[in-house]
Structure 1
Amino acid sequence: MADQFPSLKNDLILRAARGEKVERPPIWVMRQAGRYLPEYHEAKGGRDFFECCRDPEVASTLTLQPIDRYDGLLDASIIFSDILVIPQAMGMVVEMVDKKGPHFPNPLRSPDDGQYAELLKRDVDVAKELDYVYKAITLTRKKLQGRVPLFGFCGAPWTLFCYMVEGGGSKIFKETKSWIYKYPEETKALLQKISKLCVEYLALQVKAGAQLIQVFDSWAGELSPSSFKKFSQPYLEYIARHLPSRLKEMGLERVPMVVFPKGAWYALDAACDMGYDIVGLDWLHDPAQAVKTVGDRPIVLQGNADPGVLYGSHAAITEAVKEMVEGFDWANRRKGWIVNLGHGITPFVNPDDLRFFLEEIHRLTKTEGQ
């Protein structure tokens, strides 16, 4: 498959992901393609969010927008899509409601509601159901012309489960907590089903052209440490263990894998042993402490500036960058760090302030390395 794509001109993030010493830390930003960009709204037009995801031409255009705008400042692109395409492939209806977010009109309410049994027994063909994602990835790889590598991604089983039973985002996760404490075995059965679909979905993304993958466990922090070990960790480990073997079966090479258990600060040590190459950190982590936790394990850390700093002054952004550069000990280590925010870009960020953040990373890591 690789020979159908232009040769890669910037492999910095791939070298860093392998734990090599690099000339500067690679940078990309979660949600770098999105609504904070004026060109996003222009390209999106009157389409709803999921229409954009299902149109490979539109999805590839949106993916490339930050690469074009921040030319030479970003070292990776991430395909424009959504974690909730897997529940959609499983047969659940998901709508994106303006100013509210994702909404499931008919969420799972108990193992007895009929929909649960149907979801477990349904033979989901992710190759067919999510073909539009793979087409978008292949088209984007070609349009990138080798400028930077392309990330594929999926939602973690636990996070997808939360959405499927809550019906959307939540502050108290009443339905989710009811499931894990009333129906733990039924919860695990569905998590296992989702895990298998994630493996196949990611493998097909790699086949289509994805050069790295990230697993977003956005709601990991809603679990206690003991519950994390039951309802998140085993399924993250399942993906890390089975994706490489599935790729091998398909005649494909293993790609770097990132796990991002947002909010689960207590699970950093465990995350370093799950089988991923890179562990994403949210802004609740202290970089120096994270480096200490990793120790001599061959784990690369990704993160972790507070996205809210982009609402601040340029002086505050510079300070946040300095704290990361020093905390990840960049001047001495020259490896083990991929720059990112601690979560996705939030709405109403001024694109010029993101540019300043990216430029400061380039400036300060160059200075620190001399």
Structure 2
Amino acid sequence: MQSLGIGLIGTGFMGKAHAIAWANANRVLGGLPPVRLELLCDTPIEKAEAMAGQFGFARAIDDWRRLVDDPAVDVVSITTPNALHRPIAEAALAAGKHVWCEKPLGVTLADGEAMAAAAEASGRTTLVGYNYLRNPAFQHARRLIEEGRIGRLFHLRGFVDEDYQADGSLPWTWRSRRAEAGLGALGDIGVHLVSLLTGLGGPIVSVVAEAAAAYPTRPLPEGGEASVENEDIASALVRFEAGFHGTLVISRAAWGRKGSLGFEAHGTKGMIRFDQERLNELELYVAEGAKSEAGFRTILTSGEHPPYGAFCPAPGHSLGFNDLKVIEAGELLRTIAGGERARPDFAEALAIERVVYAMAESADRDGSRVAVSAMGG
């Protein structure tokens, strides 16, 4: 297979995750197009050069425009702050590159719509970083629901809680500014929750929501305070296209929570529950057998839950966050080589974001019900 040149923009948390994924996707999963780690971009150039050496990229640069135009680059990884997602993605697609972009698509719904349109016009492969969808435990939950193991699904409850904004003394950053971050907790972590719940229950068609900032202002490093322009916490009642309801609770100011992203799927014959902080476990309750033995059973991920076995032959030995990114990179490479569509692409990611923008709109309207279809499209 012809090799693909990789260009990575950004070297923070997600930049490193992408670098690890690109280096290991073929080693772990096999049968994928080989990659060349061609070009890394960050500023200043000294940082870019140091990180290129650490991550194994051949060259470093401090101008993303030159990266997307470089003929040696076939795929662009975008792991920058949110405000740069749209211009980089549009330029990369116009240059004929495939794009792997972290969520959210941009800082406004219009950004996402423009990016989806650019992707469709380009004919290139796109993928957005919803790596939690790749968890073998989550995929097994989907199979259990599809097979009717818990009967007819009639309610979904979801939560996503982190505490990176729980301390009121933390200084104001770009994450609190709409022009640079867009939505707050909804756009940063709420979209992950929507991706899971719609992956289990299908499209969400309307929402009733409330949202608030835990701290209306935050201190500036140079003194004084600045307003927090987006939400830290949100909750919503949602209606699925399939006819049942659900609840979502979202917070980036929940002390003690580090990566708590989970759900309860309630059916007529049982229930499934999951929490990403224990990402290798799935709990299943089936209403059958003796009542004296009723209770949840814990399913540990293993080779029975693909692609766990590609990483480790031993059950219960656990995958991690970066392993999910490896799976994600593998799916993108397989699509580029002519396989099934990588999901969610820009169009599907836009559908996820329309749900959280509908929540924000509902909160702005004092909790009025808002149809997701009213949010563009």
TM (norm. structure 2) is 0.26
Structure holding more helix per residue: 1
Q: Which has more radius of gyration?
A: 2
